[in-house]
């Protein structure tokens, strides 16, 4: 079985609809879906806030390249156009991890090379996998430790919403992260 952690985001058009298109496409492959967060854009581009979430999915038919291709297909279906690095987008689907694969392939670097620097990935990921860890440059640390290393502004810029991506009760209450807490992700 191949398990992937996917970070999804949108800040153009029907932002929630674009995120839901991912969960609809994944269907019963979904293991867990985080709540939806609103986050300030990352980088130096002036643009609308993003909606972000994390989806954990299993599919024995997909390897890491298969998850990448599926993400690209979902982005294309949402009319994603790559114009500007870190610019606005209808849908962004990043493969954060796939199993425990470590790869420096330029097409798909795993784990995602900047996941540990982005609260909009770490916070929702903690909602669905509070004990998860991430290896960066050979150092394996719990997600809460990577999150604690970020600037306060980065952490508090990730705000949980009441929006949900699935009506499945099994995916509705993964927990809660309070940006004021250090090291603990549940209230």
pLDDT (tens digit per residue) in 31-53: 999 999 999 876 666 678 999 99
The residue assigned the tokens 């298969």 is 66
Closest C-alpha among 27, 81, 84, 17 to residue 55:
27
List Cβ neighbours of 185 (8 Å cut-off, separation of 6 or more): 126, 127, 130, 144, 175, 176, 177
Distance CA 154, CA 152 (A): 5
User: Residue 149 domain-assigned?
Assistant: yes
Domain count, the chain: 1
User: Residue 183 domain-assigned?
Assistant: no
User: Residue 184 domain-assigned?
Assistant: no
CATH of the domain at 58: 3.30.70.560
pLDDT (tens digit per residue) in 127-168: 999 999 999 998 999 999 999 999 998 899 999 999 999 876
pLDDT (tens digit per residue) in 48-100: 899 999 999 999 999 999 999 999 999 989 876 666 566 678 899 999 999 98
User: Residue 182 domain-assigned?
Assistant: no
pLDDT reported for residue 101: 85
Catalytic residues: 80, 89, 92, 94
The reported pTM is 0.85
User: Residue 143 domain-assigned?
Assistant: yes
User: Residue 144 domain-assigned?
Assistant: yes
What is the extent of the structural domain holding 85? 3-171
């Amino acid at each position: 079985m191949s398990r992937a952690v996917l970070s999804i985001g949108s800040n153009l058009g029907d932002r929630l609809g674009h995120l839901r298109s991912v969960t609809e496409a994944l269907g019963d492959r979904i293991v867990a879906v985080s709540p939806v967060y609103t986050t300030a854009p990352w980088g130096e581009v002036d643009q609308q806030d993003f909606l972000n979430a994390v989806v954990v999915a299993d599919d024995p038919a997909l390897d890491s390249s298969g998850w990448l291709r599926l993400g690209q297909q979902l982005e294309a279906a949402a009319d994603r156009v790559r114009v500007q690095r870190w610019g606005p987008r209808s849908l962004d689907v990043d493969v954060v991890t796939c199993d425990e694969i470590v790869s420096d392939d330029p097409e798909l670097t795993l784990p995602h090379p900047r996941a540990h620097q982005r609260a909009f990935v770490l916070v929702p990921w903690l909602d669905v996998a509070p004990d998860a860890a991430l290896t960066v440059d050979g150092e394996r640390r719990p997600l809460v430790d990577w999150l604690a290393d970020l600037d306060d502004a980065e952490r508090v810029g990730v705000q949980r919403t009441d929006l949900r991506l699935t009506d499945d009760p099994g995916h509705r209450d993964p927990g809660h992260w309070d940006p004021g807490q250090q090291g603990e992700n549940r209230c």
